[in-house]
Structure 1
Amino acid sequence: MQHSIERAHCLQAGRPQPTELIELDSTLRLHIATLRPRAVENIDRLGPGSIDWSREQWSLDLIDDVISQPPGDTTLSRITSIAMLARGCQWLLTHHGASRPRAQADTRPSPRGGRLPTKATR
């Protein structure tokens, strides 16, 4: 995955072939599809409405927006799309990659009794 991200960052330095752009776009989308379920699981454990949940969900929403767009028709639009996919893939890998532990929900006493979820630990 990291190799694909690094390749995407180098595209603007040269004149990539259309087949390379298509292959890299597909590869990055596949990496994102692989990492996304773990991110969703971790974010859900943070507790909707918390600041951490909002930040993580906002980042995931941006990635979803990029994924929902088809690859561009021109070389420049494809390079731009690939750069955005690489950025999203890097965020997922850094924050929710396989080497990161899954979030565990903490709990604290509720003023009304029972337990309330709090920020997840990593």
Structure 2
Amino acid sequence: MDVDEVQRSIDQALTFRSSPLRRNELEELGAALSQHRDALLPGAQEHVDNMWRGSLEWYRSRSTLDRVASSSGYLLGSAVLGDITHVMQLARDCRWLLEIHLTAERAAGHDDAEQTAARGASSCREASTPLEGWRLERVNNFRDQPQSRNR
């Protein structure tokens, strides 16, 4: 997976312009984004399937993934504004799928690092999501506060 190529396609679709893309440019960009979406979709499905079911993060990811997967059959139509909107939504979907892909890669690297640390060296726990990072920060702040004695 060429992450830079996917990112270039996303940037090209979401760039603000003074004039809209021509029809042939929209078709090329839409085809490229559709290919990127189809390539990223299986990895995102696997990542979401490995999440804890029932969590808020799983629910949001699952519903977004279902919407992205169900939109794969839509083609460009005859209305220019609708086509521009469709390509921009494809770009947003690809950006979300790319974030999931990169998160899964980091998690795989993080798991390898944890296994290496567990063999001999001591390791400290790191956050894998922003919400978990916030929770760990709260726990650490609570531990660092001096305990008051009630008499």
TM-score under structure 1 normalisation? Answer: 0.74
Name the structure with the higher helix share. Answer: 2
Q: Partner letter of residue 88 of structure 2?
A: A
Superposition CA RMSD, Å: 2.3
Matches within 5 A, 1:67-86: 67-86=72-91
Task: Show structure 2 runs of 5+ residues with no match.
Answer: 1-5, 112-127, 130-151
Match for residue 88 of structure 1?
A: 93
Please tell me whether the aligned partners of residues 41 and 69 of structure 2 are also in contact (alpha carbons under 8 angstroms): no
Q: Which has the larger radius of gyration?
A: 2
- Tell me the CA shift for residue 17 of structure 1: 1.6
Q: Which has the higher strand share?
A: 1
Q: Residue type matched to 2:77 in 1?
A: G
Instruction: Identify the match of residue 101 of structure 1 among 104, 107, 110.
Output: 107
For residue 101 of structure 1, what is the amino acid of its counterpart?
A: A
Q: Which amino acid is 2:22 matched to?
A: Q
Say whether the 8 Å CA contact 1:66–1:81 is kept in structure 2. Answer: no
Structure 1 position 58 matched with structure 2 position 67: no
Displacement of 1:35 in angstroms is: 0.8
Structure 1 distance, partners of 2:72, 2:85, is 13
Runs of at least 4 residues off by over 3 Å: 97-104
User: Number of residues paired by the alignment?
Assistant: 106
User: With structure 2 as the length reference, what TM-score do the two structures score?
Assistant: 0.61
SS in structure 1 at match of 2:32: helix
Query: Matches of 1:99 and 1:25 in 2, distance apart?
Result: 26
Report the identity percentage. 33
Deviation at 1:99, TM superposition (A): 4.6
